[in-house]
């Protein structure tokens, strides 16, 4: 493909969902069916556009698209293995969730707004992923915050709106603090353009401020409690938040800003693993105690995000590769888990796992998909989650952080305990607790769940294919690191 084509494809990945979002009200005027159809087509074409960039980046190529504007506010897009990988993971899972929504959301009001917000969400995520300018990253960052605020409070009950406000305020606070960090960097370098600043050492204060932003978005201790509370949203939305777009923003921005671009003062490489592993442990402990299905899964996300941060903070190839792979594997598996939970919730109108039981008898497909996704999240081969978690742990060992690696494995045991607790209490055991006639849900919903569970399995068996892209991304990230790594005696 020519360079020109790649450039237009890269812009289209962002423009198609954003402009598409604004056409949804028009399609809604025609008919509700058209609305769903249009949203699905837009979401899948975004994902296809992102995939079309694979042949270009897999050879280790990258290109930077620059539209000069005033005062260093250039609109800069970067297309490399990292951004393409992330955009594929996010848009593919996002598209599947849109397809699932067709069944899930079909009886609710405000569907036009729903599809508008979801597509805008995916679009701004694409914008954030490809942006290489801190200011544009911030702008897209805030658009996602607005979308998530509207979507979390989708059911409009008073207490739901309060929870949506909480999510918005905490992530917004983080983002504003992060903006201060960006300004500190601007003071030092007179630029917001990441591509020109690779390898620059940034002051510790800026690292702290930016990390607060990332931790708030990626729900890491102590800025995580909005995420479990966001479970009041429709299951499709929580799935979207956890698997595809929202919580992955913080980790992706970490990879882009602190791994790909800047160099941090050395103490941060020691401090961050400790913070994230504690976050991971606390969330795993909370997931063990909670009884609400979606809250357990939300805490599980907080716990898994810790691994991604851990892998990125090790700054060695295997840890970074594991973390990048984790973005995809966790997205597939956690998306599947939430959508299974959505089917359960839709069918039984219950979310307390103590009130559920024996659903495997009436919903075998959902139950098996749930189990497969759970095994991937725990990190059991031959599922994809194994490789990502394994490599992150190995990265931590390689960085000499044996205690943190050991704790990481302990948390994996905890993950197994709480996810199997959910599985046993919801799908196995006594069926008589529920006296409702329960059937499997619509074909499109089941199809999506099967695809996600199947992908979790296939991504493990054929892990060499995603790994090709991950390895390219890792070598691009670590290119400037190599002399630095040598100095650190890794």
Partner 1 sequence: MASSTTLLISILLPAVFAVIVFLIPSKLRALRNAFSLIGAAIVLCLGFYLFGVKNAELNIPWLGMDINFDLRLYHLNSLIIMAVSVFLFLITIYSFVKMKEHPRAREYYTYLFLTVAFVNGAVLANNFVLMVFFWESLLVTLYGLIAIGNKEAYKTALKSFILVGFCDFCMILGIGILWYLTGSLNMPLAPLDPSSSGLAAVSCVLMLIGALGKAGVMPFHTWIPDASKDAPVTVMAFIITVIDKMLGIYLFVRISLDFFVIGMNSALSMFLMILGALTIIFALFMTFVQNNLKRMLAYQSIGEVGYMILGIGSATPVGIAGGIFYMLNQTLFKGGLFLSAGSIEHRTGTTDFDKLGGLRNKMPLTMICFVICAVACCGLWPFNGFVSEEMVMHGAKETGYIIFMIAAWIGTALTAASMLKAAHSIFWGKENKELSKIKESELLITLPIIVLALLCIVFGVHNYLPIVMFVEPIFYGYTGFLEHSGFTAHALNFFNPVAITSFVCILLGVIVYLYGWSKNSKNAASSSESVRSFPVLKNIYNLAEAKIFDIYDQGLKFLKVLGYILYYGVDRVIDFMYEKIIAGTVRVVGAILRFAHNGYYANYLAWCIGGLIIIVAVISLLS
Interface residue with partner 1, options 166, 346, 350, 433 (CB under 8 A): 166
| Least gap, CB of 272 to partner 1 (angstroms) | 18
DSSP of 90-158, one letter per residue? Answer: HHHHHHHHHHHHHHHSTTSS-HHHHHHHHHHHHHHHHHHHHB-BHHHHHHHHHHHHHHHHHHHTTT--H
Identify residues 406-425 at the interface with partner 1 (CB under 8 A).
406, 409-410, 412-414, 416-417, 420, 424
Sign of dihedral through CA atoms 295, 297, 298, 304?
A: positive
Measured from the CB atom, the residue of 43 and 375 that comes closer to partner 1 is: 375
Interface with partner 1, residue 464, by CB under 8 A: yes
| Least gap, CB of 166 to partner 1 (angstroms) | 7
Measured from the CB atom, the residue of 91 and 279 that comes closer to partner 1 is: 279
Interface with partner 1, residue 370, by CB under 8 A: no
Sign of dihedral through CA atoms 356, 359, 363, 367?
A: positive
Using DSSP, state whether 398 is helix, strand or coil: helix
Measured from the CB atom, the residue of 87 and 280 that comes closer to partner 1 is: 280
Interface with partner 1, residue 463, by CB under 8 A: yes
Find the part of the chain contacting partner 1 (CB under 8 A) among 142-150, 177-185, 209-217, 387-395.
Answer: 387-395
- The DSSP 8-state label assigned to residue 480 in this structure reads T
- Tell the burial category of 189 from Cβ atoms under 10 Å away from its Cβ (0-12, 13-18, 19+): middle
Q: What is the 3-state secondary structure (H, E, C) of 405-447?
A: HHHHHHHHHHHHHHHHHHHHHHHCCCCCCCCCCCCCCCHHHHH
| Least gap, CB of 255 to partner 1 (angstroms) | 17
Find the part of the chain contacting partner 1 (CB under 8 A) among 2-10, 183-191, 276-284, 326-334.
Answer: 276-284
Give the C-alpha separation, 477 to 156, whole Å: 43
Give the C-alpha separation, 216 to 227, whole Å: 10
Interface with partner 1, residue 168, by CB under 8 A: no
Measured from the CB atom, the residue of 191 and 225 that comes closer to partner 1 is: 225
CA 79 to chain centre: 19
Interface with partner 1, residue 321, by CB under 8 A: yes
| Least gap, CB of 335 to partner 1 (angstroms) | 21
Interface with partner 1, residue 375, by CB under 8 A: yes
Cα 134 to Cα 82, 276, 365: the distances in Å are 17, 24, 44
Interface with partner 1, residue 328, by CB under 8 A: no
Is the distance from CB of 439 to CB of 355 less than 8 angstroms? Answer: no
Which residue from 350, 352, 360 is spatially nearest to 440, judged by alpha carbons?
A: 360
Find the part of the chain contacting partner 1 (CB under 8 A) among 55-63, 89-97, 194-202, 282-290.
Answer: 282-290
Interface with partner 1, residue 367, by CB under 8 A: no
Interface with partner 1, residue 305, by CB under 8 A: no
Find the part of the chain contacting partner 1 (CB under 8 A) among 58-66, 69-77, 285-293, 307-315.
Answer: 285-293
Interface with partner 1, residue 467, by CB under 8 A: yes
Give the C-alpha separation, 334 to 330, whole Å: 6
Interface residue with partner 1, options 51, 380, 438, 458 (CB under 8 A): 380
The residue written with tokens 């999506």 in the block is 448
Interface with partner 1, residue 203, by CB under 8 A: no
Interface residue with partner 1, options 221, 230, 245, 452 (CB under 8 A): 221
In the chain, the N- to C-terminal Cα span, in Å, equals: 39
Give the C-alpha separation, 339 to 297, whole Å: 11
Measured from the CB atom, the residue of 341 and 469 that comes closer to partner 1 is: 469
Interface with partner 1, residue 172, by CB under 8 A: no
Identify residues 423-442 at the interface with partner 1 (CB under 8 A).
424, 428
Interface residue with partner 1, options 289, 354, 355, 364 (CB under 8 A): 289
Measured from the CB atom, the residue of 35 and 224 that comes closer to partner 1 is: 224
- The DSSP 8-state label assigned to residue 243 in this structure reads I
| Least gap, CB of 319 to partner 1 (angstroms) | 11
Interface residue with partner 1, options 72, 203, 204, 285 (CB under 8 A): 285
Measured from the CB atom, the residue of 96 and 419 that comes closer to partner 1 is: 419
Interface with partner 1, residue 468, by CB under 8 A: yes
# residues near partner 1 by CB under 8 A: 50
Interface residue with partner 1, options 292, 398, 431, 442 (CB under 8 A): 398
Cα 56 to Cα 90, 156, 358, 459, 487: the distances in Å are 19, 45, 49, 21, 33
Is the distance from CB of 322 to CB of 308 less than 8 angstroms? Answer: no
Which residue from 308, 354, 294, 28 is spatially nearest to 152, judged by alpha carbons?
A: 294
Interface with partner 1, residue 227, by CB under 8 A: no
Cα 83 to Cα 91, 131, 234, 253, 325: the distances in Å are 12, 9, 28, 10, 13
Interface residue with partner 1, options 170, 259, 341, 343 (CB under 8 A): 170
> What pairs with residue 193 in β-bridges?
133
- Residues at the interface with partner 1 (CB under 8 A): 166, 170, 221-222, 224-226, 281-290, 317-318, 321, 375, 380-382, 386-387, 390, 393-394, 397-398, 400, 402, 405-406, 409-410, 412-414, 416-417, 420, 424, 428, 463-464, 467-468, 471
């Amino acid at each position: 493909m020519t360079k020109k084509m790649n450039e237009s494809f890269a812009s289209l990945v962002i423009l198609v969902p954003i402009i598409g979002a604004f056409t949804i009200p028009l399609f809604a005027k025609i008919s509700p069916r058209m609305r769903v159809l249009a949203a699905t087509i837009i979401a899948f074409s975004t994902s296809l556009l992102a995939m079309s960039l694979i042949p270009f980046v897999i050879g280790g190529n990258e290109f930077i698209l620059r539209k000069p504007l005033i005062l260093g506010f250039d609109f800069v897009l970067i297309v490399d293995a990292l951004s393409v990988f992330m955009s594929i993971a996010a848009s593919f899972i996002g598209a599947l969730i849109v397809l699932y929504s067709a069944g899930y959301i079909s009886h609710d009001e405000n569907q036009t707004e729903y599809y508008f917000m979801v597509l805008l969400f995916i679009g701004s995520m694409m914008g954030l992923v490809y942006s290489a300018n801190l200011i544009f990253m911030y702008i897209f960052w805030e658009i996602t915050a607005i979308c998530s605020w509207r979507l979390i409070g989708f059911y409009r009950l008073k207490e739901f709106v309060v929870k949506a406000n909480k999510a918005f305020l905490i992530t917004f606070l983080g983002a504003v603090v992060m903006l201060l960090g960006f300004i500190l960097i601007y003071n030092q370098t007179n630029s917001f353009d990441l591509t020109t600043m690779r390898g620059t050492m940034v002051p510790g204060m800026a690292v702290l401020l930016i990390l607060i932003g990332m931790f708030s978005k990626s729900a890491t201790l102590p800025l995580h409690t909005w995420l479990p509370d966001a479970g009041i949203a429709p299951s499709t939305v929580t799935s979207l938040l956890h698997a595809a777009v929202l919580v992955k923003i913080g980790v992706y921005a970490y990879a882009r800003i602190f791994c790909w671009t800047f160099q941090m003062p050395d103490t941060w490489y020691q401090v961050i693993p400790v913070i994230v592993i504690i976050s991971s442990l606390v969330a795993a402990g909370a997931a063990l105690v909670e009884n609400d299905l979606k809250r357990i899964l939300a805490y599980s996300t907080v716990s898994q995000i810790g691994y991604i941060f851990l892998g990125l903070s090790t700054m060695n190839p295997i840890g970074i590769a594991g973390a990048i792979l984790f973005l995809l594997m966790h997205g597939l598996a956690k998306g599947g888990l939430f959508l299974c939970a959505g089917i359960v919730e839709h069918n039984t109108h219950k979310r307390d796992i103590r009130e559920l039981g024996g659903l495997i008898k009436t919903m075998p497909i959902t139950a098996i998909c749930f189990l497969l996704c759970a095994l991937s999240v725990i990190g059991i081969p031959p599922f994809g989650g194994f490789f990502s978690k394994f490599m992150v742990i190995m990265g931590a060992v390689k960085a000499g952080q044996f205690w943190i690696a050991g704790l990481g494995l302990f948390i994996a045991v905890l993950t197994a305990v709480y996810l199997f607790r959910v599985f046993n209490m919801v799908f196995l055991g006594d069926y008589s607790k529920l006296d409702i006639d329960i059937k499997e849900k619509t074909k499109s919903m089941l199809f999506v769940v099967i695809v996600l569970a199947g992908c979790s399995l296939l991504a493990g068996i054929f892990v060499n294919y995603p790994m090709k892209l991950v390895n390219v991304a890792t070598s691009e990230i670590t290119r400037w690191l190599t002399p630095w790594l040598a100095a650190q005696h890794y």
